[in-house]
Amino acid sequence: MAQIDISEEGLAKESKELLSVLLKDRTTNKSIVWATHSYEFLGRGFGVADSMTPKRITGGYANLIQPRSEKSKAEQKDRTKVRAEVFTPTWLVKMQNGYVEDELVGTTLEEYVDTKWLEITCGEAPYMVSRYDAVTGEEVPLEERVGFLDRKLQRISREVSDEAAFFQLALRAYQASYGYEYQGDSLLLARENLLASFDDYYVAKFHHAPTLAQKTEIATIISYNVFQMDGLEQTTPFSATAPRAVQLDLFEEIAELDPLPIPKETKIKDWKTGKMIGFQRLSSEELTMKFDVVIGNPPYQEEGGARDEPIYHYFMDESYKLAKKSCLITPARFLFNAGQTPKPWMKKMLSDKHLKVLSYKQKSNKVFPDTDIKGGVAITYRDETKNFGEIGVFTHFEELNQIVKKVMTVSGFSPFSDIVYPQGIYKFSKKLFEDFPQALELQGKGTKSKIVSKSLTALDFVFSDSPETGKVKLLGRIGTDRVYKYIDVRYIDFPETFENYNVFVPEANGSGALGEVLSTPLIGEPLIGHTDTFLSIGNFKSEFEANSCLKYVKTRFVRVLLGVLKITQHNSRNTWAKVPLQDFTVNSDIDWSQSVADIDRQLYRKYKLSPEEIAFIETKVREME
């Protein structure tokens, strides 16, 4: 076995009481339960609801409980997939804990030690103590450990020389350090890691081991503070008793069952009062006991339904109720107003002035090896006592975030999307389907009256290649080629833009990469329409306005802002929402007679972009003529 593993057999030999304490559940006053299917193959006593007793983890089962890094690759993958376990590397723990640590600068030793931290869904408790890297299994030297309890013990070691005073402060440090975990094996490993860390720091400081009585006192605190809980329900797993039959009265033969049993609400200890408190009460306003910091890496999604439902937002919300400060790593999709989390929730997060993004990684496997999280991952920090300004719109380029803020805070800002028309504004009229009943079937059920690219070939009997009296011109695409076709004016329902000038842009373009070139936008003259391959921009009375708009669309300035929301190939109306609308007439504050490059320079001046922001645009965005 690797050095990082703690022998339950060794703990039992040192003291049966010590191991029993580490297996204690303080809510049920029984042992913690397995709460995992991983050990069911061993038979009776190893089911999900069975208790973890000393005899089931010692003797012939002495090497049963192993750190995640010691488990087989197959089981690691299964626990990652089925149980939403994403294991946290030490460098990430250091980053998150380190940021909060910086916020605590200036606190006295006693204040620092008494700061209450909670690691949610703690697994083997890497945010509390980092004896080893949870991913690689490599042991971390004592002086390089980065857990929040590590940091407390390190500071006590630096500032206190008296052995009795050291122990008293260590007790306070443990009393102010909490964590919860669902699965029993991981919970036991977390508890063992906390106890072993106390031993490590004590030996390093005083060159001899703590007494058994001292270790038992620390273990007792751990058994209260690092507890088994379902983080979504805030109840103790499998703590409900089975329903029993109830006879209604002496003369009734039919018995009924009690209502479905309710799991016990998990309780934790308030060390100041010595009382046990229901965890659910902690998020209420009535209770004075709160955590100062909540930290961790919560589960991301729940599997088993038609699609994997996100659950990380529940943990984020609950963290904000439990503590003033919260630092979590989660999927980043909500920052782009995307994904399956509720839209109102995403809006709430993006407008929360107490929340900010510390780090964003587009490729999740750069953080969590062999794990693909669509949209990347982000570390967010929330402090209810500070106003960071709302996130509003997020991109993973800090320069672009600043550009967006400058543009959107200019007085009179209106979104360019106001003049971008949605897809499918040109439709076939009822007259066409009356004259050609077969057209409806050729169009298909989903398409119906929409004029899509395939309509040009599927309904070729209503289109011609040359102009004729009573026909109008439509721009479309066949294969990769743009084509113009002509159709009887009676067969089209026209939008309001048809008789005026527009700018046509493709509805789908590129891959979503920032700054890519738009595929040849062009001016749509009056009485020319298009299939839904294109979008119409504007409803201009003059060609000058349309030409001004065309130049604007080609600027680097516009396309960098388009890239804020255009993160796929689709170029829908909504993706233009962060681009500012301009006056395209001769009365504009922009001289539209100039070249596209000069118009860019005018826009940089108008929005007071810094040299660094201008350089960012000029570097990231390809030029268009």
Q: Are residues 35 and 182 in the same domain?
A: yes
Q: What is the 3-state secondary structure (H, E, C) of 276-313?
A: EEEHHHHHCCCCCCCEEEEEECCCCEECCCCCCEECHH
Domain for residue 625, yes or no?
no
Angle at the Cα of 472 from the Cα atoms of 468 and 474, rounded to 5 degrees: 120
Partners of 179 in the beta sheet? 119, 226
Q: Give the residue carrying structure tokens 């076709």.
A: 485
DSSP secondary structure letter of residue 494: -
Q: Are residues 78 and 216 in the same domain?
A: yes
Domain for residue 101, yes or no?
yes
Tell the burial category of 414 from Cβ atoms under 10 Å away from its Cβ (0-12, 13-18, 19+): exposed
> Which two structure tokens, joined as six digits, stand for 126?
């890497």
Q: Are residues 292 and 143 in the same domain?
A: yes
- Those residues of the chain that have pLDDT short of 50 are 1-2, 81-84, 244-255, 304-306
pLDDT at position 306: 43
Helices (H), 506-589: 543-554, 556-565
For residues 557 and 543, the answer to whether their CB atoms sit within 8 Å is: no
Domain that residue 117 falls in: 8-240+262-297
The amino acid at 193 = N
What is the per-residue DSSP string for 199-249? HHHHHHHHSSPPPHHHHHHHHHHHHHHEEE-BTTTTB-TT-PPPP-EEE-S
The amino acid at 43 = G
Count of alpha carbons within 13 angstroms of residue 277, beta-carbon side? 19
3-state secondary structure of 6: coil
Domain for residue 545, yes or no?
yes
> Which two structure tokens, joined as six digits, stand for 218?
């620390």
3-state secondary structure of 473: strand
Nearest-angstrom CA–CA distance, 484 and 470: 16
> Which two structure tokens, joined as six digits, stand for 390?
């709302």
For residues 81 and 255, the answer to whether their CB atoms sit within 8 Å is: no
Nearest-angstrom CA–CA distance, 53 and 33: 9
Domain for residue 304, yes or no?
no
Number of Cβ atoms within 10 Å of the Cβ of 206 = 14
Best CA proximity match to 173, nearest among 147, 136, 192:
147
Evaluate the CA torsion angle 170, 172, 174, 177 in order and state its sign: negative
The amino acid at 563 = G
Domain for residue 550, yes or no?
yes
Nearest-angstrom CA–CA distance, 507 and 516: 14
Q: Are residues 555 and 420 in the same domain?
A: yes
Contacts of 348 (CB under 8 A, 6+ apart): none
Q: Give the residue carrying structure tokens 């995640």.
A: 68
Q: How many domains does the chain have?
A: 2
Partners of 245 in the beta sheet? 257
> Which two structure tokens, joined as six digits, stand for 95?
């980053």
3-state secondary structure of 177: strand
DSSP secondary structure letter of residue 580: B
For residues 311 and 302, the answer to whether their CB atoms sit within 8 Å is: yes
Best CA proximity match to 524, nearest among 509, 540, 510:
540
pLDDT at position 569: 82
Inter-axis angle of helices 398-408 and 556-565, nearest 10:
100
Nearest-angstrom CA–CA distance, 581 and 577: 9
Best CA proximity match to 364, nearest among 375, 355, 353:
375
Please provide the distance, in angstroms rounded to a whole number, between the alpha carbons at the two ends of the chain. 66
pLDDT at position 472: 97
Q: What is the 3-state secondary structure (H, E, C) of 70-97?
A: HCCHHHHHHHHHHCCCCCCCHHHHHHHH
Q: What is the pLDDT of residues 496-527, one digit of tens each?
A: 999 999 999 999 888 777 888 998 999 999 99
Domain for residue 381, yes or no?
no
DSSP secondary structure letter of residue 444: -
For residues 194 and 145, the answer to whether their CB atoms sit within 8 Å is: no
DSSP secondary structure letter of residue 577: T
For 184, 234, 275, the CA distances from 31, given in Å and listed in that order, are 10, 18, 20
Contacts of 72 (CB under 8 A, 6+ apart): none
Best CA proximity match to 399, nearest among 234, 604, 180, 194:
604
For residues 124 and 296, the answer to whether their CB atoms sit within 8 Å is: no
Nearest-angstrom CA–CA distance, 360 and 376: 7
Q: What is the pLDDT of residues 368-392, one digit of tens each?
A: 988 888 878 999 999 999 999 999 8
Domain for residue 291, yes or no?
yes
The amino acid at 138 = E
pLDDT at position 283: 79
Domain for residue 340, yes or no?
no
* The domain boundary residue, chosen from 254, 273, 297: 297
